[in-house]
Amino acid sequence: MKEKEYEFKGLLVNGFLMIFLLLAVIGLSIYFAVTVQTTLVIVVCSLCIFFALVFCFGFRMLEPNEGMVMLFFGKYRGTLTKVGFYWVCFLYSSKRVSMRARNLNVEPIKVNDKTGNPIMIGQILVWKLKDTYKAMFEIDSQTMASGGASVSVTVSNRMRAFESFVKVQSDAALREVAGLYSYDDNDDSQSGELTLRSGGEEINVILLQKLNDRLAMSGLEVIEARINYLAYSPEIAAVMLRRQQAAAIIAAREKIVEGAVSMVKMALDRLSEEEIVDLDNDKKASMVSNLLVVLCADDAAQPVVNTGTLYN
């Protein structure tokens, strides 16, 4: 059975009280060694001063949203999260970590969407440390933080190691999500299909779930994940732009024709209802053709004035 994170249960003394006690021991030891000046008293006082100085290595201070993993000769003894200044047994070793939220702006990467189109996609994450035991002992954060060298690992190096782990896993999750959906609707796609471009919040929720599934073993948690960059890859961007422009032109033409037909119908109905002029089918067809040319043309139509009768 794997161990889980739990609160430190060892001896925890107020740091300021312990400073007062240690100073008192050192002061009394010096006083008795100077006044009594016997061999036994000097030896005892020297030992008291020595242990008082050794006990000084037990002081610990924690700020809000910080944690300290406590180890006793390599064995996990809990995580100290109580804010303040304390003294613990100097035999405990500790590893400090930050539990504050952090941003990670992932640079855009090239992936293939569901239809195989190469796209550039990027994301921004807000993540934090959730489980100190998993973060410290389930993944090799110590080696990553030290770069493989035998040097002391600082809090900043340890958090950069966690950030590197999040970045690698976020790239994998982003590739997985991008491969499940198309960049945009295609002509042959089903209506209402979820896409990366139109998915919005739904895609972000799916991405967040995939990220946390991958990071569950590490004790790290993504609070928020959002796609902040989405574009076609440069090699097909120009072609896809022309396709989008063509689709936009077709949609605009459909609206223009729809409006022109309704206007022609309205004109014919008004002419017939108010008996302004009596038109046969051939004249109606000619009038419809002329009106559609005028209403649907890109350029202004050049009128031809008929000085004769309508029937000539």
Q: Match 């000769």 to its residue by tokens.
A: 73
- Within the chain, strands assigned E span 13-14, 59-62, 66-72, 75-80, 84-87, 92-98, 102-112, 118-129, 220-232
pTM above 0.85, yes or no: no
According to the model, what pLDDT value does residue 192 have? Answer: 66
How far the first Cα of the chain sits from its last, in Å, is 101
73: tokens are 């000769």
Residue 183, Cβ density class (10 Å: 0-12 exposed, 13-18 middle, ≥19 buried): buried
Of the candidates 211, 240, 220, 214, the residue with the CA atom closest to the CA atom of residue 106 = 211
Residue 227 near residue 123, CB atoms below 8 Å: yes
pLDDT values of the chain reduced to their tens digit, one per residue, 312 residues: 456 888 998 889 999 999 999 999 999 989 888 887 788 888 999 999 999 999 999 999 999 999 999 999 989 999 999 999 999 998 998 888 999 999 999 888 888 888 888 888 999 999 999 999 998 888 877 666 666 544 456 888 888 889 989 999 999 999 999 888 888 765 544 456 788 887 778 889 999 999 999 998 888 999 999 988 888 877 766 666 776 666 777 777 777 777 778 877 787 777 777 767 666 677 777 777 777 666 666 666 666 655 555 554
Of the candidates 177, 166, 163, the residue with the CA atom closest to the CA atom of residue 111 = 177
254: tokens are 């459909």
CB count within 10 Å of CB 260 equals 18
Of the candidates 304, 300, 273, the residue with the CA atom closest to the CA atom of residue 286 = 304
According to the model, what pLDDT value does residue 150 have? Answer: 43
